Amino acid sequence: MLLCDIGNSGAKFFDGVRVWKESLLGLEKYRNRQVCYVNVNLRAHAIIKNFAKWVDIAPHAELESDYEGLGVDRKVLCSYFTDGVIVDAGSAITVDIMEQGKHLGGYIYPGIKAMHKAYTSISKALDKEPEFLPPKKIARNTAQAIGYGVLAPLLCDIKSWNKRVYITGGSGKILRHFLRNATYDRLYLFKAMKSIVQRKKLC
Amino acid sequence: MLLCDIGNSGAKFFDGVRVWKESLLGLEKYRNRQVCYVNVNLRAHAIIKNFAKWVDIAPHAELESDYEGLGVDRKVLCSYFTDGVIVDAGSAITVDIMEQGKHLGGYIYPGIKAMHKAYTSISKALDKEPEFLPPKKIARNTAQAIGYGVLAPLLCDIKSWNKRVYITGGSGKILRHFLRNATYDRLYLFKAMKSIVQRKKLC
């Protein structure tokens, strides 16, 4: 079974052992393979809609939620957890709150690269590589002031929910580093996908 | 006495009664007036360096701080306060911590417009007008999820300092709305400038 997670900036595949990346154009190579996928990328829809053996997992995910328009990747990911703050740190950082098996809501924060661009769009003086500080240490120069601005407010909010924190996604390790009791697993989304595929016998 | 605050996105003047904006090109009109100013804009340096009657206030501000490269506007603004969290919400949002007359440090967060751009740079699906929610209300659609992502983490950090909060700057009113005990005054920087000008008899 091949799993595929198509995000804003490309696709990731998982074959049960390895994870690898492909561009949207690279999806063509897998046209005749049996692939179970989630996709939030509008441009990718046009490419994969004719791949006869590809199965969209999203409609099979079950999640009790009042959130309108929840991204299908968030829906699948959250359905894997009963309780906690679920963080997916990719090109955007999504934060979702699960309680007793119900999705209470969530929010979207720009990813670390997008935040960096936000600073440079304001002034050349803010075009610095952010220096991330340990919690409670306040910044004392511009690189630290940007590093603090990118991460500390987000970490403050995540902690304020007083729940176990589960982190995944490409920038997840940076967040994990500053959240002592959080659990990080880069495979959470694929594990969630696999669990649905097996339960619903999709592939 | 005319005061002028030159920021990243233009200049603001204050004559003791009114505040008005000028573009950098518009500064030329005031060439022969006596103006006391602060300036963080590199392009503006070249324009005003030949204005003989203009006086830079920044070197006269006194602030005990270990922060390297603190913007001159932040230095002047912070020198006006003895204790508290000082927030200047403009094209960037600066947050500075004052304690017993000492500047402990601070950080920089993108302004609300720059944050909006950060979201749209990630995906068209995130190009929504942010809807700001009251504290503790979690988002239930994309516009709310972006509004929450822009403001709630920042508000969480500001509150976590457990200090009186003083807010100024163009977007300050939005922040003030969600920080019940904060004080907002759009003139804080000009008041700080005036205080230095009078104490040091600069204009």
- Supply the pLDDT for residue A9: 80
Contact by Cβ (8 Å): B26, B12:
no
CA A131 to chain centre: 23
β-sheet bridge partners, residue B35:
B2, B54
Rounded Cα distance between B54 and B35, Å, is 5
Q: CB-CB: which of A8, A69, A140 is closest to B68? A: A140
Chains A–B, number of C-beta pairs less than 8 Å apart: 142
Q: CB-CB: which of B123, B125, B138 is closest to A97? A: B138
Contact by Cβ (8 Å): B27, B11:
yes
Lowest mean pLDDT among B68-82, B120-134, B145-159, B161-175: B120-134
- Supply the pLDDT for residue A53: 95
Most B CBs within 10 Å, among A109, A131, A136, A151, to test the B interface: A109
SS3 content of chain B, % helix, strand, coil (to 5): 35, 25, 35
Q: Cα-flanking dihedrals φ and ψ of residue B21, to 5°?
A: -105, 150
Contact by Cβ (8 Å): A197, A189:
no
Question: In this complex, is the C-beta atom of A177 within 8 Å of any C-beta atom belonging to chain B?
Answer: no
Mean pLDDT over residues A29-38, rounded?
96
Q: Cα-flanking dihedrals φ and ψ of residue B98, to 5°?
A: -110, 135
Domains of chain B (ranges, CATH numbers)? 2-56 (3.30.420.40), 62-187 (3.30.420.40)
Tokens read off for B134: 């009251």
Question: In this complex, is the C-beta atom of A134 within 8 Å of any C-beta atom belonging to chain B?
Answer: no
Q: What does the pLDDT look like over B165-201, one tens digit per residue?
A: 999 999 999 999 999 889 999 999 999 999 999 999 9
Q: What does the pLDDT look like over A66-122, one tens digit per residue?
A: 999 999 999 999 999 999 999 999 999 999 999 999 999 999 999 999 999 999 999
- Supply the pLDDT for residue A6: 95
Tokens read off for A40: 């939030």
> What amino acid occupies position B35?
V
Q: Is the dihedral of CA B15, B17, B23, B29 positive or negative?
A: negative
How many angstroms separate the first and last alpha carbons of chain B? 7
Rounded Cα distance between A123 and B42, Å, is 9
Tokens read off for A96: 């979702």
Tokens read off for A22: 């492909």
Most A CBs within 10 Å, among B87, B112, B122, B148, to test the A interface: B122
Chain A residues whose beta carbon lies within 8 Å of the beta carbon of residue B92: 119, 122-123, 126
Q: How confident is the model at residue A1 (pLDDT cuts 50, 70, 90)?
A: confident
Question: In this complex, is the C-beta atom of A115 within 8 Å of any C-beta atom belonging to chain B?
Answer: yes
> The complex's ipTM?
0.92
β-sheet bridge partners, residue A35:
A2, A54
User: Is residue B14 classed as helix, strand or coil in its secondary structure?
Assistant: strand
Q: What does the pLDDT look like over A127-179, one tens digit per residue?
A: 999 999 887 789 999 999 999 999 999 999 999 999 999 999 999 999 999 99
β-sheet bridge partners, residue B55:
B36
Those residues with Cβ within 8 angstroms of residue A17's Cβ, 6 or more apart along the chain or in another chain: none
Rounded Cα distance between B144 and A20, Å, is 33
Those residues with Cβ within 8 angstroms of residue B30's Cβ, 6 or more apart along the chain or in another chain: B2, B4, B13, B22, B51
- Distances in Å between the Cα of B58 and the Cα atoms of B14, B71, B95, B179, B194 are 17, 9, 19, 30, 12
Nearest Cα neighbor of B78 from B34, B20, B38 is B38
Chain B residues whose beta carbon lies within 8 Å of the beta carbon of residue A105: 138-140
Rounded Cα distance between B71 and B42, Å, is 12
A8 has a pLDDT exceeding 90:
no
Q: Cα-flanking dihedrals φ and ψ of residue A5, to 5°?
A: -115, 110
**Polymer length of chain A:** 203
Rounded Cα distance between B162 and B190, Å, is 26
Question: In this complex, is the C-beta atom of B134 within 8 Å of any C-beta atom belonging to chain A?
Answer: no
Mean pLDDT (chain B, rounded): 95
